[in-house]
């Protein structure tokens, strides 16, 4: 998704310290110690780098939760779209088709607050406003691009604001599953139609292959 902000979605660099690396081949594992050292040209306190790393991990995790929700929505939309294509346009399926269309509009409404799928190439955000995912990635880029130092108070506040927005819209998605999605599942089942299923988080297909 993050065509323009992909550098903000790569994940944070590890801080200097002692680590272990593990190699597993044919079910057998070997571990070895690894010491990660700071570039001697960089003058920064370890505590500063750890604060930066901690916030970047929180941004990464928040982005993952945003994309889990988007992928669930897109997977569900794909199922609804397939169902609409299979059903004949007659009086028996009229209610299911109209309800499917209304459900799809609500799914898109939630999705479009989390991500703007019209951003598909560099500089697209000049024409289309980035949503929560792009703003989180841009924040990560700003934190790592400014200096090897702790995040500023303004950056902490921006993350708190974006996290609250993401939490609110994920709550809307959860409520939609409990109400409209559940009602549509029952309607489809009552009509003898294979019900749609919300995939578990982390298992849904990506938005790139789903209806826009």
Residue 195's pLDDT is what? 73
Tell me how many domains the chain contains.
1
Inter-residue long-range contacts of 47-51, CB under 8 Å, 24+ positions, other chains counted: 47/150, 48/148, 48/149, 48/150, 49/15, 49/16, 49/148, 50/15, 51/150, 51/151
- Name the residue among 84, 104, 97 with its Cα closest to residue 176: 104
Residue 1's pLDDT is what? 42
Residue 209's pLDDT is what? 43
Residue 155's pLDDT is what? 96
Position 1 in a domain: no
141 is in which domain, residue-wise? 6-209
Residue 211's pLDDT is what? 53
Position 136 in a domain: yes
Position 30 in a domain: yes
Q: Work out the end-to-end distance of the chain between its first and last CA atoms, rounded to an integer number of angstroms.
A: 13
Residue 212's pLDDT is what? 56
Q: Is 105 left (phi over 0), alpha (psi -120 to 50) or beta?
A: alpha
Q: What is the C-alpha to C-alpha distance for residues 176 and 125, in angstroms, rounded to an integer?
A: 29
Position 179 in a domain: yes
Predicted TM-score (pTM) of this structure: 0.82
Residue where the block lists tokens 């070997």: 30
pLDDT in tens, the chain (212 residues): 454 455 545 678 889 999 999 999 999 999 999 999 988 888 889 999 999 999 999 999 999 999 999 999 999 999 999 888 888 777 778 888 899 999 999 999 999 999 988 876 666 666 778 899 989 988 998 998 767 789 999 999 999 999 999 999 999 999 999 999 999 999 988 888 877 888 888 776 654 445 55
Residue 208's pLDDT is what? 44
- What is the rounded radius of gyration, in angstroms, for the C-alpha atoms of the chain? 22
Q: What is the C-alpha to C-alpha distance for residues 205 and 83, in angstroms, rounded to an integer?
A: 17
Residue 79's pLDDT is what? 92
């Amino acid at each position: 998704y993050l065509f323009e902000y992909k550098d903000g979605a790569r994940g944070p660099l590890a801080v200097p310290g002692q680590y272990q690396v593990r190699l597993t081949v044919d079910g057998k594992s070997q571990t070895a110690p690894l010491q990660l050292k700071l570039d001697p040209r960089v003058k920064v306190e370890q505590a500063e780098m750890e604060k930066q790393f901690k916030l970047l991990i929180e941004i990464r995790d928040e982005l993952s939760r945003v994309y889990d929700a988007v992928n669930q929505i897109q997977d569900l939309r794909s199922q609804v779209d397939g169902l609409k294509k299979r059903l004949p346009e007659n009086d028996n399926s009229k209610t299911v088709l109209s309800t499917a269309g209304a459900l799809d509009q609500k799914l898109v409404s939630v999705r479009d607050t989390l991500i703007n799928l019209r951003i598909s190439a560099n500089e697209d955000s000049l024409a289309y406003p980035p949503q929560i995912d792009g703003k989180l990635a841009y924040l990560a880029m700003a934190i790592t691009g400014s200096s090897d130092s702790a995040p500023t108070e303004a950056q902490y506040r921006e993350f708190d604001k974006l996290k609250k927005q993401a939490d609110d819209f994920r709550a809307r998605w959860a409520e939609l599953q409990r109400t409209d999605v559940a009602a549509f599942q029952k309607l489809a089942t009552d009509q003898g139609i294979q019900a749609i299923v919300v995939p578990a988080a982390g298992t849904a297909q990506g938005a790139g292959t789903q209806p826009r």
